């Protein structure tokens, strides 16, 4: 099952036990807006019946909406408590980070260029032999962010895996820079200019027991700049490169030789993003790039993606976070059960319309 389906099953299991104290850790991360409101109704009923709920989240608006009291943790310590009715997202953000956070999203007015990625009538199978992607067609142009919104488990993982060479294509075409790439292995595809920020950094983006420096060159370890004679690794160059990532992408790490599992989730994600963007790609495929990150890391990653777009790169953003889709996308498609229910410019849709389509309802679109 996908992460989203697993999460919903766990919530239902806990609620079915008639518990008196319910602890929920990021329970809405893979739910549609409609499902979030359904969950909130259930939580309010539990509260009215005398039960207690601990709601752990980094989504500030949701914390204010559902909570009576909000306690803020930073680096494992309680830094403050405030009644929800007196809290604002800006106030909570300062408490979480320890300083004022000012978004610097600058969207340059760009006329998108030619399509660099063209997907035609794509059909992809799941691991279970069912059709995961059903006759999907779209294109991504230079100088734009094309967002794909959807609750996890609706075919977006298989779609991205097909584009990046990690899963075979059953039918259809994937054309990148005028060349069909279905059937090519991931290494060849990446060398053509595609960077991939995977949906699960620990499973697909990093080798947790390897060092920071070793993880910094995954996928690039055979490039001449990192090799000596007889294909031996040039550790001096690797260390210099790793230091450059730390400086350029503001990564906090105890050292270059420490296992990458010792880094926080936000800094692990910055390493993956920095490594991929340093390949100087022309297309960035980013899947849930800010999931589970604190507000500062989230803003940083989103600003980087917008910067790539402003520099004329193409970005394919696949996300279950509706705020992220609305904030970053120039055009958007909504995927449900492997099909696109709607495709168009972001300003052509309301937040409510996209939320409904994420749940399979196309009313009013």
Report if residue 109 sits inside a domain. Answer: no
- Per DSSP, helices labelled H in 87-151 are 89-97
Claim to verify: residue 86 and residue 201 sit in the same structural domain: no
17 contact partners, CB below 8 Å, separation of at least 6: none
Length of the chain: 365
Residue identified by tokens 């060159």 is: 217
The answer to whether residues 3 and 152 touch, using CB atoms and an 8 Å cutoff, is yes
Residue 363 CB neighbours (<10 A): 8
Boundary of a domain, candidates 97, 125, 144: 97
Claim to verify: residue 69 and residue 143 sit in the same structural domain: no
DSSP string for 253-302: -S-SSSBGGGS-HHHHHHHHHHHHHTT--SEEEEESTTTT--HHHHHHHH
C-alpha distances out from residue 156 to 6, 116, 123, 153, 300, Å: 16, 20, 12, 7, 24
Claim to verify: residue 154 and residue 32 sit in the same structural domain: no
Report if residue 106 sits inside a domain. Answer: no
Claim to verify: residue 25 and residue 140 sit in the same structural domain: no
Claim to verify: residue 77 and residue 126 sit in the same structural domain: no
The answer to whether residues 181 and 124 touch, using CB atoms and an 8 Å cutoff, is no
pLDDT tens digits, 134-182? 999 999 999 999 999 998 889 999 999 999 999 999 999 999 999 999 9
User: In sequence order, what are the beta bridge partners of 134?
Assistant: none
Claim to verify: residue 157 and residue 292 sit in the same structural domain: yes
Domain count, the chain: 2
Claim to verify: residue 51 and residue 169 sit in the same structural domain: no
Residue ranges, the chain, pLDDT below 70: 1-8, 101-106, 363-365
pLDDT tens digits, 302-328? 999 999 999 999 999 999 888 899 999
Claim to verify: residue 330 and residue 276 sit in the same structural domain: yes
Boundary of a domain, candidates 38, 63, 97: 97
pLDDT on residue 151: 86
By residue range, what is the domain housing residue 60?
3-97
Residue 10 CB neighbours (<10 A): 13
pLDDT on residue 38: 83
pLDDT on residue 233: 94
Report if residue 338 sits inside a domain. Answer: yes
Report if residue 318 sits inside a domain. Answer: yes
Claim to verify: residue 126 and residue 91 sit in the same structural domain: no
Claim to verify: residue 246 and residue 120 sit in the same structural domain: yes
Backbone angles phi, psi at 80, to 5 degrees: 175, 160
Whole-angstrom distance between the N-terminal and C-terminal Cα of the chain? 30
pLDDT tens digits, 209-227? 999 999 999 989 999 999 9
- Per DSSP, helices labelled H in the chain are 3-16, 33-48, 60-66, 89-97, 156-163, 186-191, 212-216, 235-248, 265-277, 295-310, 322-328, 351-358
Report if residue 301 sits inside a domain. Answer: yes
Report if residue 333 sits inside a domain. Answer: yes
The answer to whether residues 62 and 94 touch, using CB atoms and an 8 Å cutoff, is no
CATH number for 16: 3.40.50.300
CA distance 7 to 151: 12
Boundary of a domain, candidates 97, 124, 150: 97
Report if residue 105 sits inside a domain. Answer: no
Claim to verify: residue 73 and residue 8 sit in the same structural domain: yes
Claim to verify: residue 249 and residue 119 sit in the same structural domain: yes
Report if residue 102 sits inside a domain. Answer: no
């Amino acid at each position: 099952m996908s992460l989203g389906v697993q999460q919903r099953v766990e919530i239902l299991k806990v609620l079915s036990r008639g518990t008196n104290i319910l602890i929920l850790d990021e329970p809405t991360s893979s739910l549609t807006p409609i499902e979030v409101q359904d969950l909130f109704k259930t939580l309010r009923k539990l509260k009215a019946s005398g039960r207690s709920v601990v709601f752990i989240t980094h989504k500030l608006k949701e914390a204010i909406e559902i909570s009576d009291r909000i306690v803020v943790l930073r680096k494992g310590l309680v830094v403050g408590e405030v009644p929800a009715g007196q809290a604002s997202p800006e106030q909570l953000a300062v408490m979480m980070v320890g300083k004022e956070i000012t978004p610097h999203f600058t969207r340059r007015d760009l006329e998108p260029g030619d399509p660099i990625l063209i997907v035609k009538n794509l059909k992809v199978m799941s691991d279970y032999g069912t059709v995961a992607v059903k006759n999907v067609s779209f294109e991504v142009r230079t100088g734009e962010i094309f967002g794909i919104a959807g609750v996890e488990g609706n075919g977006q993982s298989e779609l991205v895996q097909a584009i990046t060479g990690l899963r075979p294509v059953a039918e259809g075409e994937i054309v990148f820079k005028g060349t069909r790439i279905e059937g090519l292995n991931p290494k060849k595809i990446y060398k053509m200019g595609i960077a991939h920020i995977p949906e699960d950094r620990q499973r697909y983006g990093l080798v947790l027991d390897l060092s920071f420096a070793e993880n910094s060159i995954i996928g690039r370890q055979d490039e001449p700049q990192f090799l000596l004679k007889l294909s031996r690794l040039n550790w001096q160059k690797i260390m210099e490169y790793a230091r450059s990532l730390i400086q350029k992408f503001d990564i906090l790490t105890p050292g270059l030789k420490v296992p990458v599992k010792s880094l926080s989730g936000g800094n692990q994600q910055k390493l993956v993003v920095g490594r991929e963007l340093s390949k100087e790609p022309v297309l960035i495929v980013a899947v849930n790039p800010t999931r589970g990150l604190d507000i500062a890391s989230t803003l940083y990653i989103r600003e980087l993606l917008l910067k790539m777009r402003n520099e004329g790169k193409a970005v394919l953003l696949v996300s279950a976070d509706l705020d992220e889709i609305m904030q970053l996308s120039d055009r958007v498609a909504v995927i449900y059960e492997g099909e696109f229910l709607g495709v168009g410019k972001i300003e052509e849709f309301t937040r409510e319309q996209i939320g409904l389509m994420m749940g399979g309802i196309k009313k009013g679109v």
